Chains A and B, each alone.
Chain A
């Protein structure tokens, strides 16, 4: 009788785990965002805040250029690696894929460079497939080797479109370090900037919510 109860108990545990679907599986959770963000756009900006705002907008203009040309060297005009913002673990894999390892001192600029190296490979693989130079099977073999196929944006956004992605809500500036909360397309992002030789550079970006 006792053994039967034990077996039934075990069966119940297994059934419960299946029903719950192993909800606590590592790395399988959906991101949970609070929305909408109760933020108001800051209309009157100080000269320093204005500089920060323009740095962020310029950064995205440069990303557009890199999207279109794969030339990531231009990104150094607005992005930087800074030891106060070392690259976080989730970004390591992509950097390793591009450079073979995570270089010492790798930060946001390095992660963007890695993205464009991998992006170029992914776009070119897909274009080769679409031109009939490789088959779908060969494309899948490339994917298995770590090349991720990307669809390239078919146009370069103009200045008006770039500016439409942003609303600026909050600035915190302390010496050579700044934090800015802003809308970036559909996301609310906290961007960290550092000042070097009198100029602001983007050192890190973190998504913190979904825009309303």
Chain B
């Protein structure tokens, strides 16, 4: 009986720490997920959507260890993907993800270009867009796999729509494009 009580006390003491402790964001896990699925879609998340950039970016963040949260599709504080019919808008829509990130300072913080780190999501607003309309993943400085600087050591990004794997970050980013870096602090 006494033994049981001791174990129970230990459990009660340790459990909150286990539950609350943030395992952190594994940038290497996020990057290797991005490398695996930048060209070939993960069937679990492949819903045949014409615009898949934010869906892909959310998968990368989740693969890096940022846990899905919530259940309400229409609340930008929530961010989850159950199946192709039931998912949070912030998982799939650039502007919603932007709102989501703004509501989670324990996960994301705005930074300028000097503060961007590997596996951070970067939002794009191209000149013809009235709001954020694309998301890519910053992949750090390494050898480009494709594009005009293939084989060169440059800043890289990976993304969907169009599918690009470790392309020079600035490739086909025209002037007048606004950028927002959501640096992961989780």
Contact = CB atoms under 8 A, between A and B. Distances in A.
A59 to B, nearest CB: 9
Interface stretch (A1-9, A173-181, A204-212): A204-212
Given A20-B85, A64-B176, 19 more contacts: A19-B85, A25-B73, A30-B51, A34-B50, A35-B162, A63-B174, A115-B178, A126-B111, A148-B180, A151-B113, A151-B181, A153-B113, A153-B177, A162-B174, A184-B126, A186-B134, A207-B126, A211-B162, A211-B172
A31 B130 contact: no
Contact of B175 (A36, A63, A126): A63
A185 B111 contact: no
A170 interface: no
Nearest to A160: B148
Contact of B105 (A60, A136, A164): A136
Interface in B66-117: 73-74, 85-87, 89, 92-93, 96, 102, 105, 109-116
A150 B51 contact: no
A185 B89 CA distance: 26
B70 to A, nearest CB: 12
B85 A185 contact: no
Contacts of A164: 148, 172
Given A32-B51, A63-B127, A143-B102, A149 B110 contact: yes
B74 A207 contact: no
B144 to A, nearest CB: 15
Interface in A78-100: 88, 90-91, 94
B129 interface: yes
6 contacts: A31-B51, A60-B175, A157-B170, A184-B128, A186-B172, A210-B161
Given A21-B73, A126-B111, A30 B92 contact: yes
A60 B174 contact: yes
Interface in A17-50: 18-23, 25, 28-36
Contact of A21 (B51, B87, B172): B87
Contact of B114 (A21, A123, A130, A161): A130
Contacts of A32: 49-51
A34 B54 CA distance: 17
Contacts, number: 146
A53 interface: no
Interface residues of A, number: 62
B172 A185 contact: yes
Given A28-B96, A32-B49, A136-B109, A150 B172 contact: no
A189 interface: yes
Given A21-B85, A31-B50, A91 B130 contact: yes
Label chain A's interface by main secondary structure: mixed
A113 interface: no
Contacts of B128: 184, 187, 189, 205-207
B86 A19 contact: yes
A130 B176 contact: no
A151 B180 contact: yes
A127 interface: yes
B173 interface: yes
B131 interface: yes
Given A35-B50, A94-B130, A60 B176 contact: yes
Contacts of A185: 126, 172-174, 177
Nearest to A33: B50
